[in-house]
Structure 1
Amino acid sequence: LGAVPVASCSASDDLSGVDGSCTGTLTGGTSTGVGEFTYEVTAQDKAGNERQKSITYNVEYRFDGFLPPVNDPVFTKWDFKSVLRSGWPVPALFQVKKADGSLVQPGSAPEWLTPQKGKAINAPVNEEQPEESPTSGKTYVKILGVWTYVWNTRGVERGYEYRLGVKLDDGTKHYVVVAVK
């Protein structure tokens, strides 16, 4: 987002030549300029032959990973997962950006994806967790430019990895794996 080229078309015909210029129609996407777009073009030569072509592409937000206290090994120098205390809230934090790194407001609040239980772990707690109230509902809340969802781990089975996630209105989903001990 923020560095998307303008859709355009050109046509050529070595035999009879192009009758006028090609025309294009852009459809899709969201009001904020993200999502899946389709660009359909039509050109006709002077012999009356018409040719249509379409291309589909996606415009996505820049996502630089989840922020501390959750370690996101995909986007950071840390190559270990966060191991967090069971029964304590786990804040999942991130920012939504344009291609240049500047913050941007999505068209709708990011969606919290239900955590998925993974494999068993046997590692000590390695993260401090703030005492925060868990988020209710199914969407992240924006606090000072950071999208936040505080996951309530009460009742979550201890000793397992969990995949936390977000779905953005550009259609992308992003995940991070944490462990609850």
Structure 2
Amino acid sequence: MSGNTDLLPASFWDALYTNHETAWDIGYVSTPLKEYIDQLTNKNTSILIPGAGKGYEAVYLAEKGFTDITVADISAVATTALREILGNRYPAIRIVTGDFFKLEGSFELVLEQTFFCTLPPALRGRYVSKVKEILTGNGKLAGVLFNREFDKEGPPFGGHTEEYRQLFSPLFRIKVLEDCYNSIPQRKGSEVFLIAVNDGR
């Protein structure tokens, strides 16, 4: 695992988006997140999605009637493109350009999909602390994490279930941490779904 404690700079991600080197982009909302969203009932929940990408999860939420959605990305190329793609069709979606670790605000739900895995593993403790900082009391972090290692130095950076349990359990109550039964075919057997509750510990 990498010992690098530096966040990959905006210029790194700008170049990937500019050159269309976005292998993580599957072209639609991933099945585990889609099915999680489908069982949410409070459409006024304040939701943050770190790592804007092309906004598939945000658009899905908006089309399901959710009213308070924020997406954030360090890459101005990504957020500019997302604004152009969405236009004025989804007023419930707010797009923020900036460093996740400097993000301000309070959210009831953070949705995780291929953002955590972009962080050098040495930054994961900071990620956990930041998520706790921006979540309301009893707010939740929910989403998909890789349950595998990768042959090359990331991103993406891999990891495993027990590592995540040790990482999150000091600050969160882990409600769910189990293998995804509904991964897309190319990720089958390599993902876990996490629901961690900010219960005040």
Indicate the TM-score class for this superposition, using the shorter chain for normalisation: under 0.3
In the superposition, the TM-score normalised over structure 2's length comes to: 0.24
Structure 1 or 2: larger helix share?
2
In the superposition, the TM-score normalised over structure 1's length comes to: 0.25
Q: Which protein shows a greater Rg? A: 1
